[in-house]
Homo-oligomer: A and B are copies of this chain.
Amino acid sequence: MNLRIPGPTPVPDEVAQAGAAEMIDHRGPEFAAMMERVTTGVRDIFQTTNDLVILTTSGSGAMEAAVVNHLSPDEPVLVCTIGEFGKRFLELTEVYGARPTELAFEAGEPADPNRIEEALKANPQIRTVLVTHNETSTGTTNPLKDIAAAVKGAGRFLIVDAISSLSSIPVEVDNWKLDVVLSGSQKGWMVAPGLAFVSMSEESWEVQKRTTTPRFYLDLKRAQDSAARGQTPWTPAVSLFFQMDKALELIKSEGIENVYARHHRHGERVRQGMQAMGLQLFSREGFRSDTVTAVLCPEGIDVANLRKIARTEFKTVLAGGQGPLASKIFRFGHLGYCTDEDVEAGLKAVEQTLQRLEYKAPARA
């Protein structure tokens, strides 16, 4: 099956096999050494010297960790939303009693750094900004460097969900001064789901210390204190650490710049291929994601039906739309362990599925 969804992504055989290694003591020296290697490897790809902790949760757990460690009840916060994962951040701030102001952009559009700057000027009481780097629900990549310049230029604290970009699209945590940055194992990292990564600037620790929201399992200070002893506060997902250890080797051997180039090449190819079939891309040109492409489902074709045929007849798993886009778009993932052949086979499957549905490409203008 050609798994062309934006996560979980295919796991290379070597990585999957590494995860099947003999179980070890999570409080012993082998685990400590592995944790050190994995932490260092992930931190390098984050392009940071900040502390980085690893949690046994999926990406949403890391989003919650960012919120409960850095926002107190009744605290005003700006949440920039360009899709479902921005909305998840918004909901998290609401659930934990912060007072969010939502700066929403239309689905398919990126966040506008100028509007963020204005919003911060208009709301001097807001200390913290939450933003999604790569919005998988719309296939849109935010201009994070410019957003960070606006937020940090205004002296605010910045929390970034880079779950589906980090390791696939460059994120320069230190250069861009990103305070809290999140990612998850099941995306570009080529590992099964269940581990999440959180990098924290020096300022993050100060904010964390004064944040009054209760936390325990997701307490980042506990994680950091244990990490100093080569451990985790709670039993970690050891088999996923084994996988990460191997996946980082593969990334290193390919070269991270080559990994980025591959993702960009695949993004370009998928966009070009979809358009060549007469399909319309959902997100704005210049901000289309190199990890997932969102495509408008042609009129008269049911997304669920398209996905079902692609899956059952052409062995390709596409993603549907989420929330209000459920019946409007389908999505094609091209992140993590993905070869040129996977991309070509996926495009071919889309083409065959559309033929099977008697889709007629619109006449060229």
Binding site for B on A (CB under 8 A): 1, 3, 5, 7-11, 13, 16-17, 19-28, 56-61, 64, 91-92, 95-97, 184, 186, 192-194, 214-218, 233-240, 243, 311, 317, 319
Contacts and interface: CB of A to CB of B under 8 A. Distances in A.
A238 B8 contact: yes
7 contacts: A5-B27, A7-B235, A8-B24, A24-B317, A56-B56, A56-B57, A60-B216
Given A58-B235, A193-B237, A235-B8, A96 B214 contact: yes
A241 to B, nearest CB: 10
Contacts of A243: 239
Nearest to A320: B27
B240 A194 contact: yes
Contact of A216 (B9, B25, B64): B64
B24 A194 contact: no
A14 B363 CA distance: 55
Contacts of A19: 16, 19-20, 192, 239
A237 B96 CA distance: 25
B25 A5 contact: yes
A184 B28 CA distance: 20
A319 to B, nearest CB: 8
A193 B9 contact: no
A237 to B, nearest CB: 3
A331 B21 CA distance: 24
Nearest to A96: B214
B22 A217 contact: no
Contacts of A9: 23
Contacts of A60: 216-217, 233-235
